[in-house]
Amino acid sequence: MAKVVHILIALFFPPVEAFLQVGFGLQFWVNIVLTLLGWLPGCVHALWLLLR
């Protein structure tokens, strides 16, 4: 159940999920930039962080 919640957060709020996975590290800032470039790249990156 918790994994489903994390997937939903990654789909709707990608930077939040990136923060939950890695904190304020490089991957978080990469996710911010990707999300600003477009919602889909940010979602894909957040899901990649979650599922790797």
pLDDT of residue 3: 92
Indicate the residue type of 43: C
Whole-angstrom distance, CA of residue 36 vs CA of residue 22: 19
Whole-angstrom distance, CA of residue 11 vs CA of residue 48: 11
Whole-angstrom distance, CA of residue 40 vs CA of residue 24: 21
pLDDT of residue 1: 87
Whole-angstrom distance, CA of residue 19 vs CA of residue 13: 10
Residue 47 pLDDT > 90, yes or no? Answer: yes
pLDDT of residue 20: 95
What are the tens digits of pLDDT across the range 34-46? Answer: 999 999 999 999 9
In the numeric block, which tokens belong to residue 21? 């996975």
What pTM value is reported for the model?
0.91
What are the tens digits of pLDDT across the range 1-33? Answer: 889 999 999 999 999 999 999 999 999 999 999
